[in-house]
Amino acid sequence: MATLARDILGQEVDPNDHINCGQSSNDVIPTTIHVSAAIGLDGMLLPALQHLAETIRDKALSIDRYVKTGRTHLMDAMPVRLSQPLAAWATQIEQNIAHLKALQPNLQRLAQGGTAVGTGVNAHPEFPALFSREISELTGLDFAPAANFFAHISSQDIAVAVSGQLKTTAVSIMKISNDLRWMNSGPLAGLGEIELEALQPGSSIMPGKTNPVIAEAAAMVAAQVIGNDVAITVGGQSGTFELNTMLPLVAQNLLSSIQLLANVSHLLADKAIATFKVNELKLAEALARNPILITALNPIIGYAQAAEIAKQAYREDRAIIDVAVEQTDLSEQELRTLLDPAKLTEGGL
């Protein structure tokens, strides 16, 4: 219920005639979406993603000496250093950081001052700039009036764009989480290449079983953010003439995505990536039996003969070097040099 207050001079102050003079919920709510999302990006999500990227880089350096079987289509492929897929993860996160930062200038342009439909009716001409200046001082971010109030009131294109990049970030986190789950699978019947930190008993019926709960939580966050983006997309296209009527939906889902991604980025960094252990014996066993190493001999013996050697090694469950010694003119020492998994991670002929 509207109430009357009295200012220091004793004059009655009316909530509609005075306090609400020069503004409307039609420009206040779009402004609130932009300000709150900008604060969330700058203060929560971007620092969290930076922490995740740095943690991955640090972990990659510490495990660079390990070589593992690479996989394409989930099948054995040429070897990689364990640090190389992690460096790819870090690059994904760093690219997301750069793309989110590129959206900040538009996000920090505000609808405030457009009032009911974008014309600025009932607003003092200096109000938009003064408002943005005050918000900038309060938050430490560089806010400014929108170049076109009509666009910021009738549409939510900028929020949709930010959500789209949040979705891309979620896709990156889903990929990282799934890689961690696969590498951790087992420990006996799966890949068992790494051991994620055991944070809780994973089964109420199978003693000793632990599950990759942080990676799974991160995957669920990613799924939710992707779903939020769909809702925001529908909300964004619901601007009709001079007003978008789905602003509450856009606000709720956008801010939820920012907070979810920020929280899970810290967890993924601190409770999964920083703390996993490498199963060196498992890596070495898989490499020793990987017939795909024969790919390195393609320039020497040709693709066809290399394929036959690989098939024979698969068929007879033998080391690739043993079969290659029998089927080529190369000595065992030459083959060990040519098929050294660590050297094969460096590329070239």
Residue 56 CB: number of other CB atoms within 10 A?
26
Residue 319 CB: number of other CB atoms within 10 A?
16
Which among 25, 124, 203, 331 is annotated as catalytic? 203
Q: Tell me what pLDDT residue 8 has.
A: 46
For 16, 30, 86, 119, 120, the CA distances from 243, given in Å and listed in that order, are 21, 10, 45, 12, 14
Alpha-carbon distance 29 to 247, whole Å?
7
pTM of this prediction? Answer: 0.93
Q: Tell me what pLDDT residue 14 has.
A: 84
Q: Is 132 a catalytic residue?
A: no
Which among 73, 99, 177, 257 is annotated as catalytic? 73
Per-residue pLDDT of 153-212, as tens digits, reads 999 999 999 999 999 999 999 999 999 999 999 988 999 999 999 998 777 788 888 899
Nearest residue to 99 via CA among 164, 13, 187: 164
Mean pLDDT, the chain, whole residue set: 94
Q: Which domains does the chain have, with CATH numbers?
A: 24-202+209-282 (1.20.200.10), 289-344 (1.10.40.30)
Q: Tell me what pLDDT residue 307 has.
A: 93
Q: Tell me what pLDDT residue 146 has.
A: 98
Residue 2's pLDDT band, with cuts at 50, 70 and 90, is very low
Per-residue pLDDT of 253-283, as tens digits, reads 999 999 999 999 999 999 999 999 999 999 9
Q: Is 73 a catalytic residue?
A: yes
Cβ atoms of 170 and 253 closer than 8 Å:
no
Q: Tell me what pLDDT residue 323 has.
A: 93
Q: Tell me what pLDDT residue 207 has.
A: 84
Q: Tell me what pLDDT residue 10 has.
A: 61
Q: Tell me what pLDDT residue 4 has.
A: 45
Six token digits for residue 216: 């799974």
Per-residue pLDDT of 51-84, as tens digits, reads 999 999 999 999 999 999 999 999 999 999 999 9
DSSP state of 144: E
